[in-house]
Amino acid sequence: MHPQTLRILALAAALLATVLFFSTQIDGYLSERMFTRISTSAAVILPIAVGQAIVVITRNIDLSIGSTMGVVAYLTGDYLSGHPELHPVLVLCLAMGIGAGIGAINGILVAWGRVPSIIVTLGTLALLRSFLVEYSDARTITTASLPQWLVDLPQANAFSIFGIDVRVTVVLALASAVVMGLCLSRLRAARRFFAVGSNPDAAVMAGINLPMVTLLAFVLSGALAGLSGFLFLAKFGNITVVAGMGFELKSVAAVVVGGVSILGGSGSMVGVVIGTVLVDTIDNSLTRWELVSEFWRDALLGFLIMAAVTVDTFMSRQLSRLSRKES
Amino acid sequence: MTKLGIALGLVASLMSSAVMAEAVKATPGQAVNMVLLPKFLGILPFDQADRGAQEAAKELGSTGTYQYIGPTPENSAAGQIEMLTTATTQKQNVVMLSNNAGDQIAAVAEAAQAAGTKVVTWDSPIPSGKGESLFVAQVDFGSIGTVMADMVMSMTGGAGEFAVLSASPDAANQNAWIEAMKKVLAEDAKYKDLKLVDVVYGNDQSEESYNKALGLVDKYPDLKVIMAPTTVGIVAAAKAMQDEGLCEKVKVSGLGLPAEMVSYTMNGCAPEFALWSFVDLGYLTTYTSYLLATGAIKGEVGETFTAGRMGDFTIEADPGREGAKRVLMGPFTVYNKDNVEAASK
Amino acid sequence: MTVLELQHVSKSFAATQALKDMSLAIEPGEIHAIVGENGAGKSTLIKIMTGVHQPDRGEIRVGGVAVTLRGTQDAQGAGIAAIYQEPMVFPDLDVAENIFISNRAESAVMNWRRLYAEADLLVAKLGVKLDVRRAASGLTLAEQQTVEIARALSLNVKVLIMDEPTASLSAHEVARLLDIARALRAQGVSVIYISHRLDEIFQIADRVTVIRDGSHISTKPIAEVTPEGLVHDMVGRAIDSFAVKTEASPHGAPVLQMQGLGRAGVFRGINATVHAGEVLCFAGLVGARRTDVALALFGIAPATEGEIKIDGAPVTIRTPAEAMAHQIAYVSEDRRKMGLAMTLPIFANISLASLGKLMGLFGLINAKAETAMAETYRKQLAIKSADTRVEVGKLSGGNQQKVMLAKWLETKPRILIFDEPTRGIDVGAKAEVHNIIRTLAGQGVAVIVISSDLPEVLALADRVLVMREGTQAGLLPIEEASQERVIGLAAGHDMKGAA
* pLDDT over 80 (residue B171): no
* A207:C106 CB<8 A: no
Per-position DSSP letters for C293-307, written without gaps between them: HHHHHTTSS---EEE
By Cβ distance, the residue of A185, A192, A198 closest to C91 is: A198
Q: In whole angstroms, what is the distance from residue A237 CA to residue B177 CA?
A: 28
- Number of domains into which chain A is organized: 1
Question: Could you report the per-residue pLDDT of B188-227, keeping only the tens digit for each?
Answer: 888 989 999 999 988 888 888 999 999 999 889 899 999 9
* A240:B232 CB<8 A: yes
- Across chain B, what does the average pLDDT equal? 87
* B205:A287 CB<8 A: no
Q: Which residues 198-237 of A have a C-beta within 8 angstroms of C?
A: 198-199, 201-209
For residue A327, what pLDDT band results from cuts at 50, 70 and 90?
A: very low
Q: Which domain holds residue A10?
A: 3-321
For residue B6, what pLDDT band results from cuts at 50, 70 and 90?
A: very low
* A245:B73 CB<8 A: yes
Question: Could you report the per-residue pLDDT of B265-286, keeping only the tens digit for each?
Answer: 998 999 999 998 899 999 999 9
Q: Which CATH architecture has domain B141-275?
A: 3-Layer(aba) Sandwich (3.40)
Q: Touching check for B260 and chain A: CB below 8 Å?
A: yes
Of all residues in chain B, the one with the smallest CA distance to A287 is B215
- Across chain C, what does the average pLDDT equal? 83
Question: Could you report the per-residue pLDDT of C371-394, keeping only the tens digit for each?
Answer: 888 888 888 888 887 788 888 888
Q: Touching check for A287 and chain C: CB below 8 Å?
A: no
Q: What is the mean pLDDT of residues A129-140?
A: 88
pLDDT value for C242:
53
What is the CATH code for B3-139+277-331?
A: 3.40.50.2300
Per-position DSSP letters for A124-188, written without gaps between them: HHHHHHHHHHHHHTTPPB-GGGS-HHHHHGGG-EEEEETTEEEEHHHHHHHHHHHHHHHHHHHBH
Q: Touching check for C138 and chain A: CB below 8 Å?
A: yes
Residues of C in contact with A191 (CB under 8 A): 93, 97, 101, 110
By Cβ distance, the residue of A188, A320, A324 closest to C110 is: A188
By Cβ distance, the residue of A130, A133, A294 closest to B201 is: A294
pLDDT value for B214:
92
The DSSP letter of residue B24 is B
Q: For residue A248, give every residue at least 6 positions away whose Cβ sits within 8 Å of its Cβ, in sequence order, or none.
A: A52, A62, A63, A64, A65, A66, A67, A125
Query: Above pLDDT 90, what percent of chain B?
Result: 48
* B42:A243 CB<8 A: no
- Across chain A, what does the average pLDDT equal? 88
> Which residue has better confidence, C340 or C132?
C132
- Strand-pair category, B325-328 with B134-137: parallel
Sign of the Cα torsion C162, C167, C168, C172 reads positive
> Which residue has better confidence, B292 or C166?
B292
Q: For residue A326, tell me if it sits in a domain.
A: no
Q: Touching check for A288 and chain B: CB below 8 Å?
A: yes
pLDDT value for B9:
45
By Cβ distance, the residue of A186, A205, A320 closest to C110 is: A186
Give the CA radius of gyration of chain B: 21
Tell me, rounded to whole angstroms, the distance of Cα C38 from its chain centroid. 12
Q: In whole angstroms, what is the distance from residue A117 CA to residue A111 CA?
A: 9
The counts of H helices and E strands in chain A are 13, 2
* A261:C82 CB<8 A: no
pLDDT value for B5:
46
Q: Touching check for A114 and chain C: CB below 8 Å?
A: no
- Evaluate whether A35 touches A164 at the Cβ level (below 8 Å): yes
By Cβ distance, the residue of C52, C76, C91 closest to A265 is: C91
Q: What is the mean pLDDT of residues A155-160?
A: 84
pLDDT value for B188:
87
* A140:B201 CB<8 A: no
Q: For residue B324, give every residue at least 6 positions away whose Cβ sits within 8 Å of its Cβ, in sequence order, or none.
A: B125, B129, B132, B135, B317, B318
pLDDT value for C244:
64
**Chains interfacing with C (3 or more CB pairs < 8 Å):** A
Q: Cα C41–C194–C432 angle (5° rounding)?
A: 70
Residues of C in contact with A207 (CB under 8 A): 71-73, 75-76, 102
Burial class (CB in 10 A: 0-12, 13-18, 19+), C103: middle
* Alpha carbon of B43: minimum distance to chain A alpha carbons (Å): 4
Residue C199: how many other CB atoms lie within 10 Å? 10
* A320:C102 CB<8 A: no
* C92:A194 CB<8 A: yes
Q: Which residues 163-202 of A have a C-beta within 8 angstroms of C?
A: 185-189, 191-192, 194-195, 197-199, 201-202
pLDDT value for C338:
59
Q: Closest Cα partner for C33 from C44, C21, C42?
A: C42
* pLDDT over 70 (residue B324): yes
Q: Touching check for B333 and chain A: CB below 8 Å?
A: no
Q: What does the domain layout of chain C look like in residue ranges?
A: 4-235, 254-491
Question: Could you report the per-residue pLDDT of A260-288, keeping only the tens digit for each?
Answer: 888 888 889 999 999 999 989 988 888 88
Q: For residue A327, tell me if it sits in a domain.
A: no
Q: Which CATH number fits domain C254-491: 3.30.420.40, 3.90.1150.10, 3.40.50.300, 2.60.40.10?
A: 3.40.50.300
Q: Closest Cα partner for C134 from C97, C109, C103?
A: C97
Question: Could you report the per-residue pLDDT of C406-431, keeping only the tens digit for each?
Answer: 888 888 889 999 988 887 677 777 88
* B239:A290 CB<8 A: no
Q: Which residues 261-320 of C have a C-beta within 8 angstroms of A?
A: 265
pLDDT value for C276:
92
A and C touch per CB criterion (3+ pairs under 8 A): yes
Residues of B in contact with A236 (CB under 8 A): 206-207, 210, 236, 239
Q: What is the mean pLDDT of residues B130-148?
A: 89
> Which residue has better confidence, C431 or A77?
A77
* A195:C84 CB<8 A: no
Candidates C101, C131, C151: best to mutate against A (most CBs of A within 10 A) is C101
Residue A88: how many other CB atoms lie within 10 Å? 12
For residue C127, what pLDDT band results from cuts at 50, 70 and 90?
A: low
Residue B85: how many other CB atoms lie within 10 Å? 15
CB pairs under 8 A between A and B: 109
Whole-angstrom CA distances from C126 to B35, C149, C384 are 76, 9, 37
Candidates A69, A169, A242, A282: best to mutate against B (most CBs of B within 10 A) is A242
- Evaluate whether A214 touches A110 at the Cβ level (below 8 Å): yes
* pLDDT over 70 (residue A235): yes
CB pairs under 8 A between A and C: 80
CATH code for the domain in which residue A243 is found: 1.10.3470
* pLDDT over 60 (residue B258): yes
* Alpha carbon of C53: minimum distance to chain A alpha carbons (Å): 12
- Evaluate whether A163 touches A32 at the Cβ level (below 8 Å): yes
* B235:A238 CB<8 A: yes
Q: Touching check for B36 and chain A: CB below 8 Å?
A: no
* pLDDT over 70 (residue A148): yes
Q: Touching check for A145 and chain B: CB below 8 Å?
A: no
Q: For residue A231, tell me if it sits in a domain.
A: yes
- Evaluate whether B148 touches B124 at the Cβ level (below 8 Å): no
CATH class label, C4-235: alpha beta
What is the complex's ipTM, to 2 decimals? 0.82
Q: Touching check for A136 and chain B: CB below 8 Å?
A: yes
By Cβ distance, the residue of B200, B239, B262 closest to A238 is: B239
By Cβ distance, the residue of B44, B74, B236 closest to A129 is: B74
**For helices A65-82 and A247-257, angle between their N-to-C axes, nearest 10 degrees:** 130
* pLDDT over 70 (residue B256): yes
pLDDT value for A291:
72
Query: Above pLDDT 70, what percent of chain A?
Result: 93
Q: Touching check for B337 and chain A: CB below 8 Å?
A: no
Tell me, rounded to whole angstroms, the distance of Cα C71 from its chain centroid. 25
Q: What does the domain layout of chain B look like in residue ranges?
A: 3-139+277-331, 141-275
pLDDT value for C496:
38
Give the CA radius of gyration of chain A: 20
Residues of B in contact with A125 (CB under 8 A): 74
By Cβ distance, the residue of A136, A140, A288 closest to B219 is: A288
Q: Closest Cα partner for B215 from A250, A284, A33, A28?
A: A284
Q: Closest Cα partner for B74 from A233, A125, A45?
A: A125
> Which residue has better confidence, C494 or B208?
B208
* pLDDT over 60 (residue B2): no
For residue A1, what pLDDT band results from cuts at 50, 70 and 90?
A: low
Q: What is the mean pLDDT of residues B300-308?
A: 90
Query: Above pLDDT 70, what percent of chain B?
Result: 94
Strand order across the C65-67 sheet: C16-26, C4-13, C57-62, C65-67
Residues of B in contact with A290 (CB under 8 A): 219
Q: In whole angstroms, what is the distance from residue A153 CA to residue A237 CA?
A: 11
Q: Touching check for C90 and chain A: CB below 8 Å?
A: yes
pLDDT value for C236:
67
Strand order across the B312-317 sheet: B66-68, B34-37, B94-97, B118-122, B134-137, B325-328, B312-317, B304-306
pLDDT value for B87:
92
Residues of C in contact with A195 (CB under 8 A): 90, 93, 101
- Evaluate whether C398 touches C424 at the Cβ level (below 8 Å): yes
Tell me, rounded to whole angstroms, the distance of Cα A39 from its chain centroid. 14
Q: In whole angstroms, what is the distance from residue A280 CA to residue A301 CA?
A: 10
Q: Touching check for B219 and chain A: CB below 8 Å?
A: yes
* pLDDT over 60 (residue A70): yes
Q: Touching check for B72 and chain A: CB below 8 Å?
A: yes
pLDDT value for B167:
86
Q: Closest Cα partner for A225 from A33, A115, A60, A72?
A: A72
